[in-house]
Amino acid sequence: MTFSFEKFLFFGSISSNSQLLFLKIYLDIPMHMKEKSYVMVKHDGIQRGLVGEITKRFEQSGLKLIGIKMFTPDRERAVKHYGKSDEWCQEKGEMMVKNIKDAGGEPEKDAIAYGRDIVEQVVNYITTGPVVAMVWEGHAAVEIVKKLVGGTQPTTSDVGTIRGDYTHDSYELANMQMRAVRNLIHCTGESDESEFEVNLWFDPSELVEYAHIAELMLYDVNLDGVFE
């Protein structure tokens, strides 16, 4: 993304020298320290009024918010976002078949069909209402966000994580009701997925370049504007 001085945000009325220092710091930060993570607060998170609390968790970690907007996802992009391979569908479907048999039932479909149903349920849910989408930037952003969000199943997600603290849905209940698990939030799962997810939901013009005080504290060893 090309740097635009007009879009660069400074800290209130600080001096010109300080502005130039922060500008230098931002431009000097290596790209591997500017990893991005895509975060989407889902419909259930919005309905329960948790957007502010969720955002606070990421802010307090020292990551930098560079993009945020609210919209209702369209089906075309949702299908691209949640698209899974046949291997994934087969694996998840086999787990569902096992659960059905363990409960004394008889599967009505092939395993892969159950797996594809999972994807369809998730797509249907994410397109039913508004989400708040965000892009967070910083060193190891993907892993930091994943740690704060917690595991995908709320009932087994650690205490202190967003999912562990704010919801108690489970795969078992979701499967019984043939719906997507209500786990409040999506986040990028792996670093190599980041660019795809960010570009899928955000236009480059919607991402803002600016220096943040946390970058000075974290990346500048001597707080002198020089990266050793």
For residue 6, the tally of other CB atoms under 10 A from its CB is 4
- Find the Cα–Cα–Cα–Cα dihedral 30, 39, 214, 9, rounded to 10°: 80
Return d(Cα 80, Cα 200) in angstroms, integer.
Answer: 8
The helix/strand/coil state of 110 is coil
**How far apart (Å, rounded) are the C-alpha atoms in residues 153 and 172?**
10
b vs e for 158-189, b when ≥16 Cβ sit within 10 Å of the residue's Cβ?
eeebbbbbbbebbbeebbeeeebbbbbbbbbe
What are the catalytic residues? Answer: 186
